[in-house]
Amino acid sequence: MKNKIKKLLISTLLIFSLFMITGCSIFDNLKRTIVNEIRNEYVEYDQNITVDDIEEALQKGSEIAKSCTIGVKIEAKNFISTTNASGSAVIIKKVENSDKTYTYTAITNRHVTGTLTSTERKVYLGNSVYVPATLVAYDDDYDLAILQFTTVFLLNVATIYTETPKVGSFAIAVGSPYDLEGFYNTVTIGAISEVNRKYLDEDIKGNEVVNSFIQHDAAINSGNSGGGLFDIYGRLIGINTWKISSNFNNDFVGLNFAIPSSEIINSFSKYL
């Protein structure tokens, strides 16, 4: 009997020692099981991705975006005076002509181009190069317009990406704010704030319309109108058209809006 008790005690001590050595116990296992039922959600990135990789992607995306964005210069004449204005545009189609020139189609804002036949329109390609442009179509409801121009220069064409971007994605804005030549094709980078922002506005005829916009916080200013909003891959996801601002204070910052690329397809599919 004593031997059985002794063996039982030795066995118990051995089992206890084993739990102590491995650093666990029955109670610990129970505790861990309970804790593991509470899951903390987080984004897990590939360990090989670095800040340099992200910067390189943004740099390449910006380079592509700039290569298909151009400036627009407007001279509106009447019997009394001439009004000069400027904006931006994005090339969306290229046709090679038999005389080794290229005819390009560019998308911009209707409020940039105007609609009067007496208005002189030119596109600016950088390096003091201006080319006459023709207004071929416009959409009053969504403030969009199509320009066409012909030149010997070989220019890049934007990839129109119509899938809805995700909130928090990088947004690259390209345009020529304030001074067409001085700040030609300025790049600003921000994030998508909202993908389907409804806004009640008036069209050019004063009619109330409700349109959907991509809201973002990549800085845009006067002259950016008609310029592109691109994703990190350099794909065109929208046309910058307006921002909320104030002449009296700086309360409104980063409230910028772009017409979704899907509207380019809806309005001007025959020009693509």
Catalytic residues: 111, 143, 225
Neighbouring residues of 56: CB distance < 8 A, sequence distance ≥ 6: none
| Element of type H or E holding 7 | helix 2-22
Would you give the DSSP letter of residue 128? T
Given strand 144-151, what is the order of strands in its sheet? 130-132, 120-124, 69-77, 82-96, 102-108, 144-151, 134-139
Tokens of 145: 């317009």
Residue 146 sits at the vertex; the CA angle it makes with 140 and 150, to the nearest 5 degrees, is 160
- DSSP sequence for 25-78: -HHHHHHHHHHTTS--------TT--HHHHHHHHHHHHHHHHHTEEEEEEEEE-
